Amino acid sequence: MHYDPSALYCHWYHWFDLAQVRDEPHASPIRRGPLLYNIWDNRNEGVATGVEEMFMHMGLHDDSPRSRELVWILLAQRAARGLGSLYAHANMKNMEEASRMHLDWTPRNWMRREPHLIKFEQHLYLRQPGYGTSYVVGKYLIERLMAQRAKQLELENKPFVMQDFFKAFNDYGNIPVMLTSQQMLNH
């Protein structure tokens, strides 16, 4: 945050999600509020992680190469964290070894300054299978959906408009990306 808060501010897309749940509840009672478990992690964390890079590519950080570097470091850190949690879930690494992956694969040794955060995160992801990988996997699934929707619209001789995509994406509610994909592409 102290290098450039705008890179992480994009991740706060979460607040739009929460405001929409509060102010514009979905018509479906199933999609209206939080479920008993976080099956939508790939949607929420994926879109929050994805918009960091999307906004960067749309020009948000054109005047600040260091901010662009931060976006890439955040993505690498999330990949390292998620990979460590996958190995821990597969019983291929213990918590210390998973944390070590997180440390070793985050650029600039930045996670070495946060040893308590690493332990907290690895415990959190061990208790919630799929959460650690949801940032990067969800980002990929959303980017793939965007590409598929753009191709679909091209075949219909219609333009792909980012604002329209996100309006539709958000209107489907807090559901896993794969369910949103089925609905968006098969409407």
Range of the domain at 105: 5-17+31-139
Structural domain includes residue 56: yes
Structural domain includes residue 185: no
Residue 129 pLDDT = 86
Structural domain includes residue 40: yes
Cβ atoms 118, 78 nearer than 8 A: no
Measured CA to CA, the distance from residue 78 to residue 68 in angstroms comes to 16
Cβ atoms 152, 181 nearer than 8 A: no
How confident is the prediction along the chain (187 residues), in pLDDT tens digits per residue? Answer: 777 888 888 998 988 888 888 899 999 988 887 776 667 789 999 999 999 999 999 999 999 988 999 999 999 999 999 999 999 999 999 988 999 998 999 998 888 877 788 888 888 888 888 899 999 999 999 999 999 999 999 999 999 999 999 999 999 988 889 999 999 999 7
Residue 38 pLDDT = 67
Structural domain includes residue 84: yes
Q: Could you please report the per-residue DSSP string of 28-74?
A: SHHHHS--SS-TTHHHHHHHHHHHHHHHHHTTTTTT-HHHHHHHHHH
Cβ atoms 75, 96 nearer than 8 A: no
Cβ atoms 68, 157 nearer than 8 A: no
In the chain, the number of structural domains is 1
> CA-based diameter of the chain, in Å?
53
Residue 111 pLDDT = 83
Measured CA to CA, the distance from residue 62 to residue 1 in angstroms comes to 18
Residue 137 pLDDT = 96
Structural domain includes residue 100: yes
Structural domain includes residue 23: no
pTM of the entire predicted model: 0.91
Distance of CA 185 to the CA centre of its chain: 21
Structural domain includes residue 156: no
Structural domain includes residue 168: no
